[in-house]
């Protein structure tokens, strides 16, 4: 080994050791724990149970329900965010007077904690004092001030958590797509104008295809983040009523803290990791194919 590369290793070692202990070891522990019966109170490691935690989880109605809810949450939230984000990005890209100020306004929620977004919507969607129900009533959309029990009606609870997510992360989508739009070469637009394309054709055949790779990355990042959602759901509904807004993160949290089932929650966590890795590999594959073209 050369002196140069040895020096490099010294530089890398502190971070490497830290990650080894507090990142890779926990993941390894997680995988091992998923095969054992573990009692939280006695702190003891019990019998090896093989894949039975995995089988139990897949067979349990609550796990399937939480997975379904997570998928609905991701698809609806990311779908709306993509459409709204693209809409705002296109508006901001027209460079009207004062677009800088609007951009700043739109980007202000970018760094707000998911928890705070949850609190804001918990307050606005409140059954008794919420302003959303009041506005719906004032505009004659609903017939009473308590018409929709946003957070305690099983039909709306999951939807309400999704609203808080869309509000919080549309600015991120807008920001990334705007950067993508500004990266499209003006010559592409010029040549489409020479070819006599109208605005809609230009959008469909120039803007969208050029934006596609950026869109894939933005959707991938948002999909992973939306799937991991915990704070928003916890603050708004804690997964209730009767598990109607239970997502994977909240279910695993309860399995660990309320029931003390380390083995069970570890098995679910491993499956969750595998699921997200599979989804992101698929996205990266699509992107790789698109880049090749």
* Cβ distance to other proteins smaller for residue 47 or 115: 115
**DSSP H helices in 98-247:** 99-107, 114-124, 131-138, 157-182, 186-194, 199-202, 208-227, 231-236
Q: Which of 86, 158, 206, 270 binds other proteins (CB under 8 A)?
A: 270
* Cβ distance to other proteins smaller for residue 158 or 219: 219
**Angstrom distance (rounded) from CA 246 to CA 146:** 24
- Say how many C-beta atoms besides its own lie within 10 A of residue 224's C-beta: 16
- Taking the complex as a whole, how short is the minimal distance between the CB of residue 173 and other proteins, in angstroms? 10
- 246-269 b/e (C-beta count within 10 Å ≥ 16 → b): bbbbbbbbbbbeeeebbbbbbbbb
* Cβ distance to other proteins smaller for residue 207 or 265: 265
Q: Which tokens in the block code for residue 142? A: 């609903």
* Cβ distance to other proteins smaller for residue 4 or 61: 4
Give residues with Cβ within 8 angstroms of 216, minimum separation 6. Answer: 283, 286, 287, 290
* Cβ distance to other proteins smaller for residue 66 or 206: 66
Q: Are 32 and 212 in contact (CB under 8 A)?
A: no
156: helix, coil or strand?
coil
Q: Are 214 and 179 in contact (CB under 8 A)?
A: yes
Instruction: List binders of other proteins among 162-191 (CB under 8 A).
Output: 167, 170, 172, 175-176, 179-180, 183
- Taking the complex as a whole, how short is the minimal distance between the CB of residue 24 and other proteins, in angstroms? 10
Instruction: List binders of other proteins among 103-132 (CB under 8 A).
Output: 104-116, 119-124, 126, 128-131
Q: Which of 72, 76, 221, 286 binds other proteins (CB under 8 A)?
A: 221
Q: Which stretch binds other proteins (CB under 8 A): 1-9, 59-67, 190-198, 201-209?
A: 1-9
Count of residues near other proteins by CB under 8 A: 94
For position 276 contacting other proteins by CB under 8 A, the verdict is: yes
Q: Are 94 and 275 in contact (CB under 8 A)?
A: no
43: helix, coil or strand?
coil
Binding mask 10-49 vs other proteins (x if CB under 8 A, - otherwise)? xxx-xxx-xx--xx-xxx-xx--x---------x------
- Taking the complex as a whole, how short is the minimal distance between the CB of residue 208 and other proteins, in angstroms? 16
Instruction: List binders of other proteins among 237-256 (CB under 8 A).
Output: 248-249, 252-253, 256
**Angstrom distance (rounded) from CA 247 to CA 68:** 8
Instruction: List binders of other proteins among 69-98 (CB under 8 A).
Output: 88, 91-92, 94-98
């Amino acid at each position: 080994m050369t002196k140069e590369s040895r020096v490099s290793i010294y530089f890398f070692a502190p971070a490497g050791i830290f990650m080894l202990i507090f990142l890779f070891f926990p993941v390894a522990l997680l995988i091992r724990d998923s095969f054992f019966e573990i009692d939280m109170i006695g702190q003891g490691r019990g019998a090896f149970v093989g894949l039975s935690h995995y089988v139990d989880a897949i067979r349990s109605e609550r796990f399937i329900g939480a997975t379904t809810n997570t998928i609905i949450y991701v698809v609806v939230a990311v779908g709306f965010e993509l459409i709204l984000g693209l809409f705002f990005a296109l508006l901001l890209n027209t460079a009207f007077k004062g677009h800088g100020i609007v951009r700043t306004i739109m980007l202000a929620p970018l760094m707000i904690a998911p928890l705070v977004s949850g609190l804001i919507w918990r307050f606005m969607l409140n059954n008794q004092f919420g302003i959303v129900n009041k506005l719906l009533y004032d505009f004659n959309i609903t017939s009473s001030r308590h018409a929709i029990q946003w957070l305690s009606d099983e039909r709306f609870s999951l939807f309400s958590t999704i609203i808080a997510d869309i509000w919080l992360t549309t600015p991120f989508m807008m920001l990334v797509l705007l950067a993508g739009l500004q990266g499209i070469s003006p010559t592409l637009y010029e040549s489409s104008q020479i070819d006599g394309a109208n605005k809609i054709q230009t959008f469909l055949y120039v803007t969208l295809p050029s934006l596609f790779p950026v869109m894939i990355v933005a959707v991938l990042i948002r999909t992973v983040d939306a799937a991991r959602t915990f704070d928003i759901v916890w603050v708004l509904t804690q997964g209730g009523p009767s598990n109607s807004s239970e997502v994977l993160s909240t279910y695993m949290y309860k399995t660990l803290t309320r029931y003390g089932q380390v083995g069970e929650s570890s098995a679910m966590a491993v499956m969750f990791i595998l699921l997200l890795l599979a989804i992101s590999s698929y996205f990266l594959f699509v992107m790789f194919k698109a880049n090749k073209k």
